[in-house]
Structure 1
Amino acid sequence: MAGERILLTGASGFIAKHIALQLLQAGYRVRGTVRSPQKGEALRQTLARAGADVARLEIAEADLLRDEGWEAAARGCDVVCHTASPFPARQSKDKWALVPVAKGGTLRVVDAAIKAKVQRFVMTSSVVAVYYGHGADHPPVYGEDDWSNVGAADISDYAVSKTEAEAAAWGAADAASLPMVTINPSFVAGPLLDADAGTSATLIGMMMTGKLPAVPNVSFGIVDVRDVAKAHVAALTAAEAPGRRFIVSAGSLTMIEIGQAVAAAVPECRKRVPRFTVPDFVVRLAAKVVPEARAAVPELGRQKTLLTKPAETILGFTPGHTREAVAETALSLRDHGWLRRDPQIG
């Protein structure tokens, strides 16, 4: 499919920039949607610095909150790769707060893809659309047939939004016989292409600057952003991909282990990374008043196995090491001046 045009939504996002880079390197033409001309120009400069041929990059302005621009953006494209979605730094007390943007925006993009008669719709979802809200009775093994229970009391607003958006996309795509694929990554780490740190990288940045001296007893899957991007690119053409939800994860780390990986990569941060685990009962008490603590409660002490064999078999997913992905994030943040925010580090 090299030479064909791919619509990449949310093209200025952390994952999307890596997808755009790999698409351009593979010979595709990319039309990336952004919310402002400034974001479009910044994206062009970022990809050019990374060595991409930006002559094959088009910029289109479109916003998930508005209908305008989506039909024009999708027109003439062969495949749509939809990555745009809200990712909050703080959890809302209203678990449905993000659904209007995530679900409504996704349906706008699906509708535009259907009208443009594209060959395939590839969507970035998340493992949070897979394993939340099942309770202790569910085996700790999760695969593509599992869906998060949005009715659960302890599910986060982000998990609800990703689950609802993905389910809505499947419903609309199936009704229109639009071949669809989702990529469901765990926590995405790895190198930044520019100084624009997304929410996941910001968590690691907070560890580097001593903002998280103690952390809850939670662990989660980690995956390198470059491997996530490769999975998206492979999903554009893999014959057996349509109709599948591909979990991509390289393994799990606790938050303490993430901090250790940061300290090993950037020694000047070794006294700032988390060194203590907060007892579960303290986290539960804090969750009553602290939004950041509320998101950790459902994950306290839980170990999960994420089934990635389908992605390995069909998409050629070969994950790197979790600690290396974390280290790459920390090194990128250091190189982009993150440590200069805290002059006491040294």
Structure 2
Amino acid sequence: MNPVGVLGPVLGPDTSHSIGIIKQLLSGAMSGCPKVYSPYVDVRDVAKLHLRAMTHPAAKGERFIAAAPGTHSIADVARVLKRKLGAHVSTRELPNWRVRLAALHNPAAKVVLPHLGSVRETSSAKAEKLLGWSPRPFEDAVVATSDSLLKLGLVRPAA
């Protein structure tokens, strides 16, 4: 199983890098959006795909990519948070030079440097065709992530 950026409901404070992006957006720690593009998938869909792969005869010896359709920027994530939740988040894309400058003093900005401007595209067509798997929409995963972070008190929304 090869999942892409995994979002969805969190169970506790130990979270992934992808969830960290939503935490930073919601808390206001991210004043703008680096130009980073990635496919995403909901953790619940990854679990369903694991179950199908373990029980379906056609999955024997195969590898599957777990991804919802489309490639989305961090600004796309921010727009979903703003539109669906009314969150006070920045949807402004930052120029690459500004992210590089910030990375000189900010470890979180330094992490995204290798990914600036790159668009990662992938397809889960094989899992969909062979196993009848279908992931939920990207927006649902973003909303489920943010709802759980807020409910568990793992992020304080920016005012």
Shared fold (TM-score greater than 0.5)? yes
Match for residue 13 of structure 2 among 178, 187, 196: 196
Maintained 8 Å contact 1:247/1:311: yes
Which of the two has higher C-alpha Rg? 1
Gaps of 5+ in 1: 1-182
SS at match of 1:188: strand
SS at match of 2:65: strand
Match for residue 222 of structure 1 among 40, 47, 65: 40
Q: Does 1:253 align with 2:72?
A: yes
Deviation at 1:240, TM superposition (A): 2.4
Maintained 8 Å contact 2:38/2:121: no
Match for residue 117 of structure 2 among 294, 301, 306: 301
Q: Does 1:328 align with 2:147?
A: no
Maintained 8 Å contact 1:248/1:317: no
Maintained 8 Å contact 1:191/1:329: yes
- Between the aligned partners of 2:40 and 2:119, the Cα distance in structure 1 is 13
| Equivalent residue letter for 1:224 | D
Deviation at 1:315, TM superposition (A): 2.6
Q: Where does residue 275 of structure 1 map in the other structure?
A: 91
Deviation at 1:291, TM superposition (A): 3.1
Structure with the greater relative contact order (CA < 8 A, sep ≥ 6): 1 or 2?
A: 2
Kindly tell me: are residues 201 and 303 of structure 1, through their superposed partners in 2, closer, same or farther at Cα, counting changes over 3 Å?
Answer: closer
Aligned-residue identity in percent: 33
Maintained 8 Å contact 1:217/1:277: yes
| Equivalent residue letter for 1:218 | V
Deviation at 1:205, TM superposition (A): 1.6
Match for residue 55 of structure 2 among 237, 243, 253: 237
In proportion to residue count, which structure has more helix? 2
Deviation at 1:258, TM superposition (A): 0.3
| Equivalent residue letter for 1:304 | R
Maintained 8 Å contact 1:185/1:247: yes
Maintained 8 Å contact 1:265/1:331: no
TM-score by length of 1: 0.42
Deviation at 1:289, TM superposition (A): 4.9
- Between the aligned partners of 1:327 and 1:320, the Cα distance in structure 2 is 12
TM-score by length of 2: 0.85
Deviation at 1:296, TM superposition (A): 1.8
Maintained 8 Å contact 2:41/2:135: yes
Kindly tell me: are residues 321 and 217 of structure 1, through their superposed partners in 2, closer, same or farther at Cα, counting changes over 3 Å?
Answer: same
Provide the aligned length of Structure 1 versus Structure 2: 157
Q: How does 1:161-172 map to 2 (within 5 A)?
A: none
Gaps of 5+ in 2: none
Kindly tell me: are residues 315 and 288 of structure 1, through their superposed partners in 2, closer, same or farther at Cα, counting changes over 3 Å?
Answer: farther
- Between the aligned partners of 2:80 and 2:153, the Cα distance in structure 1 is 19
Deviations 1:122-142 (A, max 9, x none): xxxxxxxxxxxxxxxxxxxxx
- Between the aligned partners of 1:337 and 1:324, the Cα distance in structure 2 is 20
Q: Does 1:310 align with 2:126?
A: yes
